[in-house]
Amino acid sequence: MSQSMKNLLKVVITMVLSLVIGAIFILSIGENPIAAYGALLKGAFGTKLGIGTTIAGFTPLLLTSIAFAVAAQAGAFNVGVEGEVILGGITAAYIGIHWGFLPAPLLYLACFAGAMVVAAAWAFIPAALKAYYNVSEVCVTILMNTVALYIGSYLVSGPMSAGVATPQTDPVLVTIPKILKPSSANAGVFLAIIIVLIVIFMLYKTKWGYKIRTVGTNPEHADYVGIDAKKTFINAMLLSGMLGGIAGCIEVLGVHGYYLDGFAKDLGTNGMLAALIVKSNMATTPLMAFFLAVLKSGAMAMQQTTGVPKAIVDTISAIFIIIATMEFVIQIKGRRQKEQAAAVSSGEAPGTAPPVESEEKEE
Amino acid sequence: MGLMENLGKVFNVSLIYATFRASTPIIYAALCAAITQQANILNIGTEGIMLVGAFTAISVSYATGSWFLGVIVAMLAGAAIAMIMAVGHIKYNSEICAIGMGINLFAIAITKFLLNTLFHTNGNFSDPKIVPIPRVELSFLENIPVLNQLFNNWCFTEWFVILFIIILQFLFYKTVWGLRLRAVGQFPMAAETAGIRVNAVKYQAMLISGLIGGLAGAHLSLGYSAQFVENMTNSRGFMGVAAMYFGGANPVLTAVGCLLFGFADSVGARLQAYGFPAQFVLMMPYLVTVLVLAISMAIKLGAERKRESSLVTGDSH
Amino acid sequence: MREYVVEMNHIVKSFGEVRAVKHGEFTLRKGEIHSLIGENGAGKSTMMKLLYGMYPIDSGEIIINGETMKKLEPKIAIDHGVGMVHQEFMLVNDLTVLENVILGFEPKKGLTIDFAKARKEVEHYIEQYNMDIQLDKKVSQISVGEAQRVEIIKTLMRGVEIIILDEPTAVLTPQETKKLFEILFNLKAEGKSLVFISHKLNEVMEISDRISVMRQGEYMGTVDKDKTTPLDLTKRMIGREVFLNIDKTYSKVGQTILEVKDVWVPALKESSKIRGMSLHVNEGEIVGIAGIDGNGQSELIEAITGLRKVEKGSVILNGKDITNLKPRKIRDAGMAHIPEDRNRRGLNRSMSIEDNLIAVEIDSGAYTKGALMNIPAQDQYSEEMVKQFDIRPTDYKLPTSSLSGGNAQKVVVAREVSMKKKLLIASQPTRGVDIGAIESIRNTLEVAKKDGAGVLLVSAELEEIISLSDRIIVIHEGKITGEMPASEANENNLGLLMMGGTVEEEKGGEAS
């Protein structure tokens, strides 16, 4: 069985396992898990609105999950995507409201460019702190997410407030056309898919991608062959930030048409979740993002029709990720494969694993 | 004029207790992270362990009417969560950050789920039936103005944290177990060949860490307040991890780091009363944490550079 | 009484696909010194690590003092009287020597560690065996020889009767080795049983009672020292007679290619800090740097190659000042570098042979088209390299983690040598590779020199330094203690310089 087949099989088994554990939770509150899951699926796919909601949820998740995965390819654990989405969104809103002097096509471009620049600048802070001072990027990005949240909240309830009851800005002058009305799905999903394809191509077919992968798997080797590990690490984080910024921009221009406080809630976290489940594998991360989008969009329908609280969906996703991080390898040929797999994956663990101690070094 | 007067209102004696009060939950969280860090395990799951502890403490106190039972069960719940992490990380090679984040998300989701199903409520839960951790009244202080303000009416777990810092300091640096823990953290192969069961020590560290994390949560929900709020830890676990970095996993230094965050928090809260935008005040502890992290790592790096420099003479024999 | 204190029968052990021990046999008598010899990768260390319980055996049996061991881990091994001094010291840098010695067997006083009692016990052993050890220093501050004595004390403190020493002389000068042998003979006289792992035949002939040989994971027999000769042992070890002495050519030495001027370099360990070192390498010569591991060799090379900061002084390559430039700039100025640790730096083990071969050329445009990877060009180059350097397996799309030590090293050598840079730095180029690869790598260096490159060679093997170099520089604690043409060098005068002595001292007959 090929390695990728095995990986896929493992994901499927993990998925089933977490759904079973979720079913036990549902049973424990006296509900029928099959009915609940059925209602969930029906909610996500049963109606045009449902499909639209699923796609609307999928769009930002696709971008944020790839944002996390790209950073992970360079060995970074970027929890800060959520902050990048927020700041990208508020920047896009500012430009979209105030730069009316630009013709519409340029204004679109300006919104995206501004969102990308600001989000990348935000990502630069933890990246540089990690690269030059070895400050844990996990800690810094987590803390900075909260700071970004308050910055957005301050702007939208103060200087940029529309003056209505909810904390939101004036509407932007350009919007991304909606599809599948009345859901909030919009043409941004096509843009997101194209961007993600470009990123994946970049990572595997260009020298930039080669450098990122080299740094992510062995930074000391990178420095030695003349690839600046620190710079490459920062570049990957900048790219990750840009992707987050784009997600924010699409949400503002496509979903809401203005900046709404708290719009980015859990977008970064869930993207990270999707990527973590498949170990930031670039090919399967989008699939996982889609799966989570289905869960989210069906959850509300499930809560309404069956009385199972939608928090169960988050619980299942969390269990999913906890099991997925573990390396119990599908045993086909016994021990030997297990040891091999452990050796391979410890080499893959972003930036944390020490150089693999090999038996050939023994003498 | 007003400014000096206002400054006087911000920086007065009561600020000292306010700082300590705000710091205590973070100190517990930081100690939870410190003990695993000594075994070279970065306990990113501190936040989740703490949140589960907070919820358990409230539920048990509400159901039994005993704060003590609440604290004990919260500690056990924390330990259970920590053991999931331990098994994943030690036995199944989970990347520690990944499983830690998984634990944190799980904690948020499961407490929300249980809040819905057990207490049929959303957002937060408070009830007169919840018995909080008692406050220690020192009647002999009542007539002494400053000392009374400073030391009277502390929550029981606030007094305990001081003792606890000392206990951990002793445990790490004076006991057999502490020596082994540090050896396991710094060079596991050396510990292994010296006849120490490395994984056993790691499990023990995680177990104790879980107990402390549960206690941290219990203090937050039953001592610091008397209610449960969704995601009430609000990054305190992460601040604890940051403080642990600041203190190099040394309990006393780590606690000093926590006091810094507590101070930022308390000053911020007071400034809010003088027209400072709420958001800036709220983000203060987070900003300070990032700054402190950056500065402490820069200092550490500088010290390392100096120690490694060829231009200064070390005490070579 | 039983004849043997240790019996290992029909041992098999694999790591992943690599069969480290295919068939291992070993016995140890009470009070003997039994050497286990073989070339790199023969499985001798693995055999003894199995005895010490560091990995479980796949099949076979291990009998210690008549008891068949069902489960074995270091703790159990120690309880059964087996101790091991590892080649890489198992000492925690940030703890003191005393803390390291008692680790795992700490005397207690109430809740705390009884350091006074521990100190008394340790001092007893220090006196008994006349060892020079400073108990209150941190391990990071002591010398290699001292660290080794600490390791021996550690095993003695645990009351073991069987002591395994894994290549203990690899990090010692000839003079320090003599001291160690005295200690070992003392231990033997006390009735301890010792296993001595080595690949240096002269040492083995000096110290052993019996000698067992392993080759490529297979047991090749045991002989009494008195009934064998070094030649016989070589044949058993290698399967054929090998003469590693390559024909040294004396090509015309050209102009200076590398000049290191009064360089100061930081290091983690005090003894590795470089304090004012000057040297030069000319075109068409091999300059060997001899010294005990940890005396600043690694730091010097890292400083020259841009991987470590130079705090004072300057490095000139090909007439260009390259002090503190980035590695890429230094490579562009004409340097290639075979690093000392191929797994840490030399290779990216999770990427393919091909990806590793093109790593240094990623920005040169040779294997890219614009920003796109130029796969046909990469394939062609990889095919050539695999053929020219006899890299096996030949499928260059395989990850380098699947290669043996020798083939992995060939990938590094191929990448660095094929560009024909004017300066080639080779640090421990043959460490941990099989004899075939050693021959081919040494020849490659010789060819590079003939082609006019300047070669700076660092090796822990004196034999390698002497046989390859034209000129030898000896360093000790970050300073140059001597320099001589290879023709004048021998193990004695180099060894003395490696200890920090001077040649004059030796002439005066004052070997410390």
Cα radius of gyration rounded to whole Å, chain C = 24
Q: Where are the alpha helices (DSSP H) in C55-102?
A: 74-79, 97-102
**Coil, strand, or helix at residue C472?**
strand
In chain A, what is the greatest distance between 2 CA atoms, to the nearest angstrom? 74
| Joined tokens for residue B140 | 């002999």
Checking if the pLDDT of A336 tops 50, the result is no
Which residues lie across from C260 on neighbouring strands?
C279, C315
Q: The dihedral of CA C286, C288, C294, C299: what is its sign?
A: negative
User: Residue with structure tokens 């900061």?
Assistant: C309
pLDDT, tens only, C255-290 = 999 999 999 999 987 888 999 999 999 999 999 999
- pLDDT at C31 (0 to 100): 93
Residues A292 and A314: their CA atoms lie apart, in Å, by 9
**Contact list, B315 vs chain C (CB under 8 Å):** 141, 270
Checking if the pLDDT of A360 tops 50, the result is no
The residue of chain B with its CA nearest to that of A341 is B93
**Contact list, A221 vs chain C (CB under 8 Å):** 344-348, 359
Residue B38 near residue B245 (C-beta atoms within 8 A): no
Interface chains of chain A (3 or more CB pairs under 8 Å):
B, C
Residue C331 near residue C397 (C-beta atoms within 8 A): no
Least Cα distance to C214 among A363, B170, B94 occurs for: A363
Q: Where are the alpha helices (DSSP H) in chain A?
A: 3-28, 33-45, 48-73, 81-98, 104-133, 137-157, 188-205, 207-217, 219-225, 229-250, 267-277, 285-306, 311-325, 335-348
Give the distance from CA C215 to its chain's centroid.
19
**Contact list, A208 vs chain C (CB under 8 Å):** 371
Interface probe with A: pick from C59, C87, C345, C435, most Cβ of A within 10 Å: C345
DSSP string covering B108-151: HHHHHHHHHHHH--SSEE--TT--PPPEE--GGGTTSHHHHHHH
Residues A130 and A71: their CA atoms lie apart, in Å, by 13
**Coil, strand, or helix at residue A167?**
coil
| Joined tokens for residue B250 | 């040394």
Mean pLDDT of chain C: 89
Residues A111 and C319: their CA atoms lie apart, in Å, by 51
Which residues, 6+ apart, have CB-to-CB distance to A193 below 8 Å? A62
Residues A147 and A139: their CA atoms lie apart, in Å, by 13
Which residues lie across from A206 on neighbouring strands?
C372
- pLDDT at C298 (0 to 100): 94
Residue B84 near residue B221 (C-beta atoms within 8 A): no
pLDDT, tens only, A272-307 = 989 998 889 998 999 999 999 999 999 988 998 888
H-helix or E-strand spanning residue C427: strand C423-427
The residue type at C129: Y
Q: What integer is the mean pLDDT of B13-19?
A: 88
Task: Kindly state whether residue A40 falls inside one of the protein's structural domains.
Answer: yes
B308 versus A61: the higher-pLDDT residue is: A61
Q: Does A201 touch chain C (CB under 8 A)?
A: no
* pLDDT band at C510; cut points 50, 70, 90: very low
Helices (H) and strands (E) in chain C, counts: 17, 24
- pLDDT at C243 (0 to 100): 52
pLDDT, tens only, A58-82 = 999 999 999 999 999 999 999 999 9
**Coil, strand, or helix at residue B253?**
helix
Residue A280 near residue B101 (C-beta atoms within 8 A): no
Cα angle: A159, vertex A164, A166; to 5 degrees: 90
Residues B182 and B41: their CA atoms lie apart, in Å, by 11
Task: Kindly state whether residue A363 falls inside one of the protein's structural domains.
Answer: no
The string over A240-271, giving b where at least 16 C-beta atoms fall within 10 Å of a residue's C-beta and e elsewhere, is bbbbbbbbbbbbbbbbbbbbbbebbebbbbbb
Residues B253 and B245: their CA atoms lie apart, in Å, by 10
- pLDDT at C507 (0 to 100): 45
- CA dihedral defined by A179, A180, A183, A188, rounded to 10 degrees? -30
Considering CB atoms only, which of C346, C371, C401 is closest to A343?
Answer: C401
**Coil, strand, or helix at residue C258?**
strand
Residues B171 and C113: their CA atoms lie apart, in Å, by 11
**Contact list, A349 vs chain B (CB under 8 Å):** 95
| Joined tokens for residue B223 | 């001592």
Q: What is the CATH classification number for the domain harbouring A45?
A: 1.10.3470
**Coil, strand, or helix at residue C51?**
helix
| Joined tokens for residue B202 | 């790691």
DSSP string covering C309-375: ---EEEEEETTEE-TT--HHHHHHTTEEEE-S-IIIII--TTSBHHHHHTGGGTTTSTTEETTEE-H
- CA dihedral defined by B9, B10, B12, B17, rounded to 10 degrees? 130
Residues of chain B whose beta carbon is less than 8 angstroms from a beta carbon of chain C are 170, 174-176, 179-180, 182-183, 186-187, 189-197, 305, 308-311, 314-317
Q: What is the pTM of this model?
A: 0.86
Most confidently modeled range among A205-209, B133-137, C245-249: A205-209
Checking if the pLDDT of A202 tops 60, the result is yes
Peptide bond between residue B277 and the one before it cis (omega within 30 degrees of 0) = no
Cα radius of gyration rounded to whole Å, chain A = 21
Residue A313 near residue A39 (C-beta atoms within 8 A): no
- pLDDT at C17 (0 to 100): 66
* CB pair distance less than 8 Å for C373 and A208: no
Interface probe with B: pick from C71, C73, C89, C90, most Cβ of B within 10 Å: C90
pLDDT, tens only, A141-160 = 988 999 999 999 999 988 99
Checking if the pLDDT of A3 tops 80, the result is no
* pLDDT band at B202; cut points 50, 70, 90: very high
- pLDDT at A164 (0 to 100): 87
H-helix or E-strand spanning residue B259: helix B251-272
* CB pair distance less than 8 Å for C305 and A224: yes
Share of chain B above pLDDT 70, in %: 97
* CB pair distance less than 8 Å for C92 and B315: no
Which residues lie across from C456 on neighbouring strands?
C287, C425
H-helix or E-strand spanning residue C219: strand C218-224
Interface chains of chain B (3 or more CB pairs under 8 Å):
A, C
**Contact list, B189 vs chain C (CB under 8 Å):** 90
Could you give all domains of chain C from N- to C-terminal order, each with its CATH number? 4-238 (3.40.50.300), 254-334+421-437+445-512 (3.40.50.300), 347-419 (no CATH)
Residues C322 and C331: their CA atoms lie apart, in Å, by 10
| In chain B, where the domains are located | 24-241
Residue A233 near residue A239 (C-beta atoms within 8 A): no
pLDDT, tens only, C182-203 = 999 999 999 999 999 987 788 8
Peptide bond between residue A309 and the one before it cis (omega within 30 degrees of 0) = no
* CB pair distance less than 8 Å for B283 and A151: yes
Considering CB atoms only, which of B102, B116, B235 is closest to A325?
Answer: B102
Least Cα distance to B30 among B314, B190, B261 occurs for: B261
- pLDDT at A350 (0 to 100): 35
- pLDDT at B26 (0 to 100): 96
**Coil, strand, or helix at residue C15?**
strand
Q: Does B95 touch chain A (CB under 8 A)?
A: yes
* pLDDT band at C303; cut points 50, 70, 90: very high
- pLDDT at A235 (0 to 100): 97
* CB pair distance less than 8 Å for B186 and C92: yes
| Joined tokens for residue C378 | 């990469």
- ipTM confidence: 0.86
- pLDDT at C122 (0 to 100): 92
Task: Supply φ then ψ for residue C450, to 5 degrees.
Answer: -60, -35
Most confidently modeled range among A3-12, B249-258, C247-256: B249-258
**Coil, strand, or helix at residue C425?**
strand
> How close A133 gets to chain B, by Cα (Å)?
6
Which residues, 6+ apart, have CB-to-CB distance to C380 below 8 Å? none
* CB pair distance less than 8 Å for C350 and A208: no
Q: At what angle do helices A267-277 and A311-325 cross, to 10 degrees?
A: 40
- pLDDT at A181 (0 to 100): 83
- pLDDT at C477 (0 to 100): 87
Residue A53 near residue A40 (C-beta atoms within 8 A): no
Q: How many CB pairs under 8 A join B and C?
A: 101
Residues B81 and B78: their CA atoms lie apart, in Å, by 5
Checking if the pLDDT of A27 tops 60, the result is yes
Q: At what angle do helices B198-218 and B236-246 cross, to 10 degrees?
A: 130
Q: Does C86 touch chain B (CB under 8 A)?
A: yes
Task: Kindly state whether residue A361 falls inside one of the protein's structural domains.
Answer: no
* pLDDT band at B2; cut points 50, 70, 90: low
First-to-last C-alpha distance (Å) of chain A: 34
Its domain, for residue A307, covers 3-348
pLDDT, tens only, C450-507 = 999 999 999 988 889 998 999 999 998 899 999 999 999 988 888 888 877 665 544 4
Checking if the pLDDT of A24 tops 50, the result is yes
Considering CB atoms only, which of C331, C348, C373 is closest to A226?
Answer: C331
pLDDT, tens only, B58-94 = 999 999 999 999 999 999 999 999 999 999 999 999 9
Which residues lie across from C280 on neighbouring strands?
C259
Interface chains of chain C (3 or more CB pairs under 8 Å):
A, B
DSSP string covering A294-346: HHHHHHHHHHHHH---THHHHHHHHHHHHHHHS-----SS-HHHHHHHHHHHH
- C residues 342..401 contacting A (CB < 8 A): 343-351, 355, 359-360, 362-363, 368, 371-373, 401
- pLDDT at C493 (0 to 100): 87
- CA dihedral defined by C56, C62, C68, C74, rounded to 10 degrees? -50
